[in-house]
Amino acid sequence: MTKHSVHNGVPAPKRVLVTGGAGFIGSHLCERLLENGDEVLCVDNYFTGSRANISRFLDHPNFEVLRHDVTFPLFVEVDQIFNLACPASPIHYQYDPVQTLKTSVHGAINMLGLAKRTNARILQASTSEVYGNPTQHPQTESYWGNVNPLGPRACYDEGKRAAETLFFDYHRQHGVDVKVIRIFNTYGPNMHPDDGRVVSNFVIQALLNKPITIYGEGEQTRSFCYVDDLVDGMLRMMNESGPDFMGPVNLGNNNEITIRELADSIIELTSSKSELQKKPLPQDDPERRRPDLSLAEEKLGWAPRTDLKKGLATTIEYFEQYLRRHGAV
């Protein structure tokens, strides 16, 4: 546990910084931290995050939000840092690839510098994309990956790989208390409706009875983790893992399905009239993706619990309400 003040024998609330806190995963993490009684500083530049995701917290006495870009230093006093800031969908991270790389690298340097100064524990939200188009299946944390350093996805893939390097070098050189997780495909409420990710794409297309776009034959596989399960794993890594376990550790779901199977499930759950529309596979798109979760189970006692259809139903309900608010249905 990171050190924080004690008053009359009772630990004071932890002061927790969440970069990218107005984003999809960040907003769920902020909510859970507030429920746990922590003081939360949400930092976001709103490139992909949304004030709508955090609007219900704005009047909370333990919540503060700051518009800030992590490529610039930040001077605050905190006990813990969750570094989530970075666009995570190809549409968004390829929009400005240089800025994406700077967010991962400069952002990591600035947040690690803050952790060093304040003696805070810092967790890096890395990604399964560090494995690239894997030749090992399922992917274990010891696998070094198969990444194209020159392709259109490299700004994100290599940026996250460089950030992991920085985290471990700051630990070795400066003794910074670091934790690294690798997030696999995650879905749930608060996803950006136009992020181009497969779950949000399919759900909106199905709700609007539009053709559902699959790439190739839809035989590529993914493993989808519900956001509540992911946040539970993140908090366990930050608070309950021993000081000698820094990671990296995979967090995701190991129930592997094809993209076509996902599309069929969403069509069924939405009673949609949508049909499948095939398009060519994007460059460097991974063919298979499934985490080996043995390390998370051993070190964190963690495993995903939410059934895919149950999680999809909640996600569909969120997007139905979103489309109604915007007059689309």
What are the catalytic residues? 156
**Tokens linked to 129:** 């994309």
Whether 291 contacts 138, CB under 8 Å:
yes
Amino acid (1-letter code) at residue 95: Y
Q: How many CB atoms lie within 10 A of CB 59?
A: 7
